[in-house]
């Protein structure tokens, strides 16, 4: 258990790292440090701010989370400026950490349902020939992968092709960041081959409705498809008779 002194030391380190981060961020914003320029070494930052290495590393971690630092294997951290992609990537890492929590996973499934039913509606209303051909190609790859380990990847690809019809980079980035990890975290179904065939058939119905410009059918089938897909993977509740927990009422 942490002592009061340890807690105070941690709070002081946090304040110091936040101060260092703010100074360096201000310099990046002002152009004192150009984008892609390597940051000073940890030793130089320690000397400049009269801080310990853990404090400097915490400051750099905060900057990276905010999108002001990029780091790669074998090279010094470099100055950067936040972009939609870097911010979502940072957020995506944190969201993926909570995917094991049932309630959080359900909230993300709900977000996915809103995005993809909206995408189905938009696609049925205005998908052009190029977008339709990409969706058809994704559907054909999905069919070819039924019953194989490649099916989940083609499943994601079909849904991504559909979301891309919207033409909104924020929505597509959210889909890329969360949906792949979310699907990867799902448990296997009891009958994968049957699940694949059901999923493909629903994908085919969605595609046909989009091709026909049938907005109501496209959104309705997509909504039912996502709900069924999620519920098919929920664990069956345990029986009270398992493990001898339920005794005969007469005993």
Q: Examine the domain organization and report whether 121 and 189 are in the same domain.
A: yes
Determine which of 72-81, 98-107, 230-239 has the lowest per-residue pLDDT on average: 98-107
**Range 75-90 average pLDDT:** 76
What confidence score (pLDDT) does residue 26 get? 93
- DSSP-derived letter for residue 80 is -
Structural domain range at position 127: 88-231
Q: Which residue has the higher pLDDT, 247 or 149?
A: 149
What confidence score (pLDDT) does residue 250 get? 44
What confidence score (pLDDT) does residue 128 get? 94
Could you tell me if residue 238 is inside a domain?
no
Q: Examine the domain organization and report whether 75 and 99 are in the same domain.
A: no
Structure tokens at 29: 């914003």
Structure tokens at 160: 């991504």
Q: Examine the domain organization and report whether 131 and 157 are in the same domain.
A: yes
Residue 67: band (very low, low, confident or very high) from pLDDT cuts 50, 70, 90: confident
How many domains, the chain? Answer: 2
Q: Examine the domain organization and report whether 114 and 225 are in the same domain.
A: yes
- For 74: left if phi > 0, alpha if psi spans -120 to 50, otherwise beta; the answer is left
Q: Examine the domain organization and report whether 20 and 134 are in the same domain.
A: no
Q: Which of 81, 99, 129 is the last residue of a domain?
A: 81
Q: Residue 165: is it exposed, middle or buried by C-beta count within 10 angstroms (0-12/13-18/19+)?
A: buried
Structure tokens at 194: 């049957």
How do residues 25-54 score in pLDDT, each as one tens digit? Answer: 999 999 999 988 999 999 999 999 999 999
- DSSP-derived letter for residue 243 is G
**Range 60-81 average pLDDT:** 86
CB atoms inside a 10 Å sphere around CB 125: 12
Could you tell me if residue 212 is inside a domain?
yes
pTM of the predicted structure, to 2 decimals: 0.61
Q: Examine the domain organization and report whether 18 and 109 are in the same domain.
A: no
Q: What is the CATH number of the domain that holds 51?
A: 1.10.10.10
Q: Which residue has the higher pLDDT, 75 or 167?
A: 167
Could you tell me if residue 250 is inside a domain?
no
Q: Examine the domain organization and report whether 110 and 204 are in the same domain.
A: yes
Q: What is the CATH number of the domain that holds 151?
A: 1.20.120.530
Determine which of 15-19, 43-47, 130-134 has the lowest per-residue pLDDT on average: 15-19
- DSSP-derived letter for residue 38 is B
Output b/e per residue, 17-46; b: 16+ Cβ within 10 A. Answer: beebbeebbeebeeeebeeeeebeebeebb
Classified as helix, coil or strand, 247 is coil
Q: Examine the domain organization and report whether 49 and 101 are in the same domain.
A: no
Phi and psi at residue 194, to the nearest 5°: -65, -40
Q: Which residue has the higher pLDDT, 8 or 164?
A: 164
Could you tell me if residue 246 is inside a domain?
no
What confidence score (pLDDT) does residue 183 get? 67
Could you tell me if residue 133 is inside a domain?
yes
In this predicted structure, the answer to whether residue 109 has a pLDDT above a threshold of 80 is: no
């Amino acid at each position: 258990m942490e002592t009061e002194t340890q807690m105070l030391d941690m709070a002081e380190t946090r304040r110091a790292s936040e101060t260092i981060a703010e100074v360096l961020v201000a310099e990046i914003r002002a152009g004192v440090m150009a984008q892609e320029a390597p940051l000073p070494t940890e030793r130089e930052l320690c000397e400049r701010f009269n801080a310990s290495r853990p404090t400097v590393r915490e400051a750099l971690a905060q900057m990276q989370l905010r999108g002001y630092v990029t780091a790669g294997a074998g090279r010094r951290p470099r100055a950067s400026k936040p972009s939609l992609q870097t911010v979502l990537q940072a957020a995506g890492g944190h969201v993926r950490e909570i995917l094991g929590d049932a309630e959080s996973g359900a909230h993300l499934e709900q977000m996915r349902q809103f995005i993809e039913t909206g995408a189905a509606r938009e696609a049925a209303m205005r998908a052009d020939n190029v977008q339709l051909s990409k969706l058809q190609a994704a559907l054909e790859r999905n069919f070819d992968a039924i019953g194989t380990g490649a099916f989940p990847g083609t499943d994601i690809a079909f849904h991504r092709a559909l979301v891309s019809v919207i033409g909104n980079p924020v929505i597509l980035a959210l889909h890329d960041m969360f949906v792949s990890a979310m699907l990867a975290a799902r448990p296997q179904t009891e009958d994968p081959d049957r699940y694949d065939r059901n999923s493909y058939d629903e994908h085919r119905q969605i595609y046909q409705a989009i091709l026909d410009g049938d907005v109501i059918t496209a959104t309705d089938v997509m909504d039912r498809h996502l709900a069924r897909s999620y519920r098919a993977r929920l664990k069956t509740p345990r029986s009270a008779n398992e493990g001898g927990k339920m005794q005969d009422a007469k005993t």
